[in-house]
Structure 1
């Protein structure tokens, strides 16, 4: 099994870097170089994806280097053209350019989705204001209440599961004994 395949199998879904995080990493490497992982790690941490729960060491120097290595494996070696004396794009520049284009496409897709949601909500608002949905208000209210109740139940189940996990962990650790301090009486 190749090292990269082993690395991918070891990662949890929450450990997968988003496109935005990969682009931030590539930009930081472009600025600081691929030997200065302290600087790269410091540059990437504040740009973390909002709303994602990441472990404290997710943007560590080692993890940044590992992720960049994965990005390097995905890029093709630059090819020199015959008679071309110009500069060849570096691996880092190729990665940053590729990720930039992918991020632009991702943002365009997200904007289209938001525009569709906006148009749908605007149409619903017009229907509500005109009274077309008056006969559905009770059903809509019940649906909202059901979603709220389901959400609260899910949070409660998650809290209970966490408490049970903590209790099980505490039970496996055994009791904590305090050893009294012994003094000899000499000072």
Structure 2
């Protein structure tokens, strides 16, 4: 059996229904069906409108099959709703647990901050008393300046050349007795030996 749409769907605005007419072509016989479908169906294509009219007619002719079909659809919808409710319950439990965890973390954080303030106060008190003790401790801990010991010379004198190399100053030459040089001593020794 072949059905086709006859004419365009007509919208009745006051009832918010669309009037659709289909016709059945059989050799030697024509039948028409005119149905009011709920809502605005003027933009639906021909196949969708024909199927909607046929479903409406079947429901009128055999209400039990429509009831069974609706019950199946209701069962599917109920099952989907139950799954959605289970998911919502699970999410709600997770959210409650997260909220509890956040509260626990905030409480621990407050405790740590309170401990930190107490520790900071104790540290500041210790720091206020510690510098005096630390200064004296640092003075006691610092090594004393090197003291001369018997093992070390008191002061190392720079190595100076022998006095024979030094040039005497004028004041020294006036007061000192001249000493014979090595040439004079050798000549005196020679002269003394020759005299003997």
Q: TM-score, with normalisation over the residues of structure 2? A: 0.28
Kindly indicate whether structure 1 or structure 2 has the higher relative contact order, using CA contacts under 8 Å at least 6 residues apart.
Answer: 1
Q: TM-score, normalised by structure 1?
A: 0.29
Higher-Rg structure is: 2
Bigger strand share: 2
